[in-house]
Amino acid sequence: MESNKFPLISVGLITYNHEKYIEDCLKSILLQDYPYMELIILDDASTDNNVQIIENYLPELNNKFERVQFIKHKINSANIPKNYNEIESHIKGEFFFGVSGDDIIFADSITKLYNCFTRHQECCLIYANGFYIDDDFHLGDNIDLSKVLIKNKDVSNEENISFKKLMYGNTICRPTVLIPSKIIKKYGSHDETLIYEDYEYWIRLLSNDEKFYFLNEPVVLYRKAENSCTNFNSKDIINNMNKFKVNMEHEYLCKKKYLHLLNKTEQQKVWELYYKYYVITLPKRGYNELIPFLDSLLKNIDHNIYNDYQKFKIMINRENHIKNIPNILNYKCDNIIKNLKKKIRQENPTIAIYGFSNIGELLLKKLTEFNIKVKYIIDRKGNKIKTSLQVYKPTDNFPIIDCIIIAPLGIFDEVYPLIQDKAPYILDLEDIAFTE
C-alpha cells in the first residue's frame, strides 16, 4: 500500500505502570501494516520503568510513524476520559484509534478497520471483535480462542446496534474502535466526571442517530491487567470490591444520563437488566457488602421499578439460600440444632422430615449424627423413596410427632395447611438454618 493514497490515522496510546506489558504493545503497534499513521503516547506519571522502556523504542517508532509525540505527566491524573481528551486534542489524522499499554493489536487491525470504513461510510464508528488474554500473556503465546469478546451467539445483535441496545448493556471494546476525527470534533470531549471515557461516548453518538458497524473479526488481544480498573481478580479482595463499586456507579450514571430518551417500558428494561446482573453477581463474587450501595443507587429511580427490584432481590436471596443449605448442614449443623431446640423447647424431640430430596437426605444424616431421632419421612413419592424409615405421603394418616421440618425451601406456605394438625411445631428449614 502506498501511503499517499491513504488518509492519516492517529493512534493514541495511554499507559500507566505498564512495564510488564508495554513492550508487547509497542511491538504490536510497530507490526501494523497500515502505511500512513501518527502515534501519540501519553504516560500518566508511571512510577515503574514504563517511560524508560517507551523511550528505548522511540527510534523505531519514529522510523515507523509519520509523527510521534510522547506526553509525560508529572502528576498522575487517574482520569482516563481526561487523558483521552488530551490525546485527541493533539491528533492530526482523519481517523483515531485508541489503545491501552497492556493490550496487543494484530498486525492488520488498523487496515481491517479502515477497509471496513470504506465499505460503510454511512457509519460514524467501526468496532470489532477480539480475545481476552490473561495477565501473564506475552506476544507469541497461544491464544485461547474460547475467550472471545463478543461470542457468536451475540453477533446477530451487534451488527445494527442501536441506542436502546447499548443502554441495555455495553459490548463495545475501546481498542477495537476506529472513529473519524470529524465525529470527535462534532460531539465534543469525553465526560471527565466519569471513570471511563467510552461507554458514555458511544451512547452519546447513538442517541444522536449516528450508525455503528460491527466487524466480526478479531483486532485486539484485550488484557485486564492486575492493576486495571476492570480487573476484579487480584489477591486484594478489598481493592477488587472497591473497583467493582466504581464500575457499578459508572454504569448507573451513564444510563441515568440518557434515560429520558427512552419510553417508560424501555426505561424499565434498562434498570431490570442492570439490577438483575448486579444482584446475581455480587453474592457470587462475595461482595454482599455492596448490596446496600446498589439499593441506594436504585432508590433514585422510578418507585415501581425499585419495588420490582426488591422482589427480585428476595427471590435471588432465596436461591442463594438453597445453594448454601448443603454447606450450612455440613459445617454449621450445630447452629441448626441449637435453633431447633430453641424453637420447640425440648432437649430430645422426635422429628419427621417433609421432602426427601438431596437436602432432606442430608438433613436426616446430620440430625442422626447429633442424636436427634427422626421417626419418619413425608414425601409426595411415598414408598418410592428408598430409606430405612417409614415414608408417608402428605395425604396419609401418619402419626402425630413433636416436630416436622419442611426441607425444600420456598414451599412452607403451600405445605403447612396439609400437615398443620400432625405436629405442634412445623418448622421451615430455611428459618432454622439462617437464624443466627
Phi then psi for residue 21, to 5 deg, are: -125, -20
Model confidence at 253, pLDDT cuts 50, 70, 90, reads: very high
pLDDT tens digit string along 49-68? 999 999 999 999 999 999 99
Q: Which of 125, 108, 124, 117 is nearest to 218 (CA)?
A: 108
Sequence-ordered list of residues with C-beta below 8 angstroms from that of 103, at least 6 positions apart, any chain = 21, 25, 175, 220, 221, 222, 223
Beta strands 212-223 and 104-105 are: antiparallel
Sequence-ordered list of residues with C-beta below 8 angstroms from that of 304, at least 6 positions apart, any chain = none
Mean pLDDT of 190-211: 94
Question: Which uninterrupted H or E stretch holds 184?
Answer: helix 181-187
Q: Which of 200, 199, 174 is nearest to 101 (CA)?
A: 174
Task: Examine the pLDDT at 266 and tell me if it is beyond 80.
Answer: yes
Task: Examine the pLDDT at 33 and tell me if it is beyond 60.
Answer: yes
- Give the cell for residue 67: 509523527
CA–CA distance, 244 with 237 (Å, rounded to integer): 10
| Rounded (10°) angle between helices 50-64 and 22-30 | 0
CA–CA distance, 7 with 35 (Å, rounded to integer): 9
CA–CA distance, 332 with 348 (Å, rounded to integer): 19
Mean pLDDT of 402-425: 88
The CA radius of gyration of the chain, in Å to the nearest whole number, is 29
Task: Examine the pLDDT at 1 and tell me if it is beyond 90.
Answer: no
Question: Which uninterrupted H or E stretch holds 99?
Answer: strand 95-100
CA–CA distance, 167 with 303 (Å, rounded to integer): 20
CA atoms within 13 A on the CB side of 221: 26
- Whether pTM > 0.85 for this model: the answer is no
Percent of all residues in the chain with a pLDDT value above 70, rounded to a whole number: 88
pLDDT tens digit string along 226-246? 666 666 666 667 888 888 898
Mean pLDDT of 157-181: 88
Label residue 342 exposed, middle or buried (CB < 10 Å: 0-12, 13-18, 19+): exposed
pLDDT of the residue at 133: 93
More confident residue, 233 or 365: 365
Name the residue type at position 159: E
pLDDT tens digit string along 284-337? 777 878 888 888 887 777 656 666 666 666 655 655 656 667 777 776 788 788
What structural domains does the chain harbor? 3-223 (3.90.550.10), 237-329 (no CATH), 332-433 (3.40.50.720)
Model confidence at 17, pLDDT cuts 50, 70, 90, reads: very high
Task: Examine the pLDDT at 12 and tell me if it is beyond 70.
Answer: yes
Q: Report the 10 Å Cβ neighbour count for 233.
A: 11
CA–CA distance, 35 with 67 (Å, rounded to integer): 13
